[in-house]
Structure 1
Amino acid sequence: MYTLHINDLTQQEFLSQYWQKKPLLIKGGFKSFEDPLEPDELAGLAMEEGIESRIVTNHDGWQCTNGPFEDFSPLSNENATLLVQAVDHWHPDAAQLLEPFRFIPNWRIDDLMVSYSTVGGGVGPHLDQYDVFIIQGLGKRHWRVGNVDKSIQQFSANKGLLQVGQFDAVIDVILEPGDILYIPPSAPHEGYATEAAMNYSVGFRAPNQTDLLSAFADHLIDHDLGQSRYTDASLTLRDSCGQLQQNEIEHLRALVTDAINDDDVFLRFIAEHISAPKHDKDLLPLDDEIDESSVSNYLHNYPYLYKAGGLRCIYIEQDESVMLGVEGHSFNMPIMHLTAVQALCDQPQVQTPLILEHTHCLLFRQMMATLIREGFWFID
């Protein structure tokens, strides 16, 4: 539905010259762009429990109100913006906007945030810790973007609304429908609608060390792992009993790194953590009873199997096996199922004959029964 044109750059040239390096204005990135949803539809999503939304205004100071909303009076005729996260989880047409950006690995794509702004509406000058493509839809918006500057300090303009001070702009432009801005992490930017405007932000994930280590510790606790204790059977007398010696420091460090270096432990953690859901999804668990004994007959009746909107799934290829991570769950399959697992992860819809070729294996049938029963993949 949408074809991305990155000026005169190939995808690899964009990655080499701009990705995580400097911002880029992509004029006419989507030719003859049509909005996949209307402002009223966006407001409808903002009324739903389980869908993250907020209204940001700038009248006498910045204000931020979190949804769900029954009353849209804060969305005034000027200086107001409605923002809704993870619209791709709930609106199949809007989800199509993510597809042209899948030259970036799927696991790095976070979600599609959609905003509607009245004249003057915006969220103020700010920076993000992740990459983002901002697509202009309905209306026009004036954008200023600076170069990457990791020394810029953020401050809280309002609870839940971080901003930055003034910055020098290297891009200063009014975006029209189909124009796109690429903004790398730590590049300050601000945009204000010059007329009622819709914007679509394709955001990317960038876990930090604290996120990973904290989640890894939780994984060890949840699965009763990481129980190796410090030992020092070769202990000898020393002059000072107060010193923690270098060899002891290395031994303690090894207790941590040994758990991380254990592929059986770490790869399962990564598969589950990277695929874990961040937002609710429009999943429809199957009402019919389906298990490993009936999944083949079930699939025979349908030509395609469809992936649920916003589904997080990744696979990790090993010598003798392939691990599939889906929505915080992991499945370890023999390597002979790699083509099926790859198709499930890479394609929004998979031909069922490809899946049926692998259902001679009990493990694979059990996995597919679970994936379909939970609504992660569905038939239509």
Structure 2
Amino acid sequence: MLTLNLADFSLEHFMACYWQQQPLVIRQGFQDFEDPINANDLAGLAMEEAVQSRLIFKKGDKWQAESGPFESYKRFGKTDWSLVVQAVNHYSPEVAELVKPFAFIPKWRFDDVMVSYATPGGGVGPHIDLYDVFICQGSGRRRWRVGDIGNHKQFAAHAALLHTEPFEAIIDVELLPGDILYIPPGFPHDGVTLESSLSFSVGFRAKSGCDMLSGLADHVIDKDLGKTLLADPKRPIAHQQGRIDTSDLTLIRANIQNLLDNEALMADFAGSYFSATKCALDLQALDDPLDTADMLAQLQDQPLIRTGGLRCFYVDATIDQGVCYVDGERYAFGADLAASLMALCDHDEITANLLAPALNHPEFARQLTDWVNAGYWYFND
């Protein structure tokens, strides 16, 4: 198992002084690091329809970007291009291992592991990300420049590429295998490959208020909630027909605030919203589905492993009722199963002991069997 090596300070110091505040180079954050996937296998993934991938290069002085799947890479030559593949942790258990060293940040904040292969001179151009990222250098070398946060002008270098204007670097570093560069949202950065290399970017979501309000609206509509009408009995006579006065605005705000103050509603929204995956899961449904008895018997002998990228959470406001959220859906099993559901969500690998006493609960046992048959959890035969 990979271990994050912070030689000069503690995780507590990192979270207090760097997380979402300033970029940081972590030399040999992964000691004796070996690529969890090679360039050929990454290129093969980018040939698949279900996998999100892009190839970024320059034609003359103009940036270009193409979306996969790709049939061949020969036309791009041996220099000045990058292949970027999203959510590789969904498809490669070895790449998924890169997530575990960052378990000091909760999974609901995690997004995916993006993997980039670049030839000498390759990069994606200077840009600003709206999420936190740990860029883990694999084989090869890349030079990274990071600027300070500020009012940087951005422009479309291509329809699929948002770049930022030149910036003064506060970090200018060459990353070697095992080095990690942490970049919070808003800091401009630019990486250029010095020799053919692989980079593994462990990204963490940063949702805007607009995103979450949109998600909440969808949740309320889907669940047929929020039907309480705005009411104003004993309203005084209006003398200005076109006016929304202060008391009116308070009434409007209160009607919306009632939704936000509904703890159960917000718990279900947060659990469902953040457990939904951005990219498709690589689910391997069983050709010969197990029945519940067979699944429980097999679980006594070997653990179940969560498939890469599957998101499952619990919320303090509803876990005491035995509620959890798996891949965007709400499941309620009763208060007696709260501890087992916490174990299910907290661990990537679950044993029969961790799930006791839930395995004696018929509804949970049936649901776990359905999840296993669908490929959400699997036995590593």
Give the TM-score, by structure 2 length.
0.94
Are 1:227 and 2:203 matched, yes or no?
Answer: no
Superposed CA deviations along residues 238-272 of structure 1, whole A, max 9, x for unmatched, are: 33222212121111112212122222322111111
8 Å CA contact retained: 2:117, 2:198: yes
What is the rounded CA distance, in whole Å, between the counterparts of 1:296 and 1:123 in structure 2?
46
Structure 2 stretches lacking a partner, 5+ long: none
Alignment partner of 1:87 is 2:93? no
Q: Is the 8 A contact 2:52 2:86 kept in 1?
A: yes
| Residue matched to 2:115 | 114
In structure 2, what is the equivalent of residue 313 of structure 1? Answer: 312
Counterpart of 1:40, as a letter, is: N
Moved more, 243-252 or 200-209: 243-252
TM-fit CA distance, 1:373:
3.4
The corresponding residue for 2:272 is 272
Partner of 1:56: 56
Question: Partner residue of 1:304?
Answer: 303
- Deviation of 1:295 after TM superposition, in Å, equals 7.2
For 2:128, the aligned partner's letter is L
CA distance in 2, matches of 1:138, 1:213: 41
**8 A contact 2:299–2:351 mirrored in 1:** no
Q: Name the structure 2 match of 1:125.
A: 126
Structure 2 matches for 1:32-181, cutoff 5 A?
A: 32-60=32-60, 61-149=62-150, 151-181=151-181
Report the Cα offset of residue 274 of structure 1.
Answer: 0.4
Give 1:63 deviation, angstroms: 0.2
Is the alpha carbon distance of 1:214 and 1:347 closer, same or farther for their aligned partners in structure 2, counting shifts above 3 Å?
same
Confirm or deny that 1:246 pairs with 2:257: no
Structure 1 range deviating more: 9-18 or 321-330: 321-330
CA drift at 1:332:
2.4
1:201 equivalent in alignment to 2:230 = no
Which amino acid in the other structure matches residue 208 of structure 2?
A: N
Deviation at 1:280, TM superposition (A): 1.1
Indicate the larger mover: 225-234 or 352-361. Answer: 352-361
2:5 corresponds to which residue?
Answer: 5
- 1:342-363 deviation per Cα after TM superposition (whole angstroms, max 9, x unaligned): 2212212111233242233344
The equivalences for 1:355-374 within 5 A come to 355-374=355-374
Q: How much does 1:296 deviate? A: 6.6
Whether the 8 Å contact between 1:148 and 1:184 is mirrored in structure 2 is no
Kindly state the Cα deviation for residue 38 of structure 1 after the two structures are TM-superposed.
Answer: 1.0
What is the identity, as a one-letter code, of the residue corresponding to 2:94? D
Which region of structure 1 is more displaced relative to structure 2, 78-87 or 318-327? 318-327
Deviation at 1:341, TM superposition (A): 1.5
Q: Following the alignment from structure 2 to structure 1, what is the Cα–Cα distance between the partners of residues 138 and 47?
A: 22
| 1:28 aligned residue | 28
Hey, what's the Cα distance between the residues in 2 that align with 1:302 and 1:260?
45
CA gap of 1:184–1:62, structure 2 versus 1, over 3 A, is same
Give 1:31 deviation, angstroms.
0.9
User: Structure 1 pair 328/62, CA: closer, same or farther in 2 (3 Å)?
Assistant: same
- Residue of structure 1 equivalent to 2:17: 17
Distance 2:213 2:137 in 1: 37
TM value normalised by structure 1: 0.94
Point out 4+ residue stretches in structure 1 off by more than 6 angstroms: none
Letter in 1 for 2:331: F
State the Cα distance separating 1:289 from its structure 2 match: 5.0
- Cα-to-partner distance string for 1:102-146 (whole Å, 9 max, x where unaligned): 111111111000011111000111110111000111111111111
> Given that residues 276 and 328 in structure 2 are in contact (C-alpha distance below 8 angstroms), is that contact kept between their aligned partners in structure 1?
yes
Cα distance in 1, alignment partners of residues 255 and 22 from structure 2: 40
Summarize the Cα distance change of 1:325–1:227 in structure 2 as closer, same or farther, 3 Å threshold.
same
2:234 and 2:9 map into 1 onto residues whose CA distance is: 62
How far apart are the structure 2 equivalents of 1:237 and 1:25?
Answer: 65
CA distance in structure 2 between the partners assigned to 1:334 and 1:214 by the alignment: 30
Secondary structure of the equivalent of 1:238? coil
1:81-112 CA-to-partner distances (Å, cap 9, x unmatched) read 00100000001111111111111111111100
Q: What is the CA-CA distance between 1:301 and the residue it aligns to?
A: 5.1
Larger deviation: 358-367 or 69-78?
Answer: 358-367
CA shift, 1:366, in A, is 4.2
- Whole-Å separation in 2 of the counterparts to 1:297 and 1:349: 15
What percent identity do the matched residue pairs reach?
A: 39
- Mapped to 2, the partners of 1:39 and 1:289 lie a distance apart of 35
Instruction: Work out whether residues 137 and 199 of structure 1, in 8 Å CA contact, stay in contact via their aligned partners in 2.
Output: yes
- Residue 52 of structure 1 deviates from its aligned partner by 0.3
Conservation of the 8 A alpha-carbon contact between 2:295 and 2:369? no
Instruction: Give the aligned partner of residue 284 of structure 2.
Output: 284
Deviation at 1:281, TM superposition (A): 1.5
Moved more, 212-221 or 86-95: 212-221
Aligned counterparts of 2:116 and 2:349: Cα–Cα separation in 1: 28
Q: Secondary structure at the match of 1:162?
A: strand
Q: Which amino acid aligns with 1:272?
A: S
Change (3 A) 1:263 1:365: farther
SS at match of 1:318: helix
Distance in 1, matches of 2:323 and 2:374, equals 18
Q: Which digits, 9 at most, give the CA deviation of each residue in 1:173-232, with x for residues without a partner? A: 111111110001101110101111111101110111111111111112112211111222
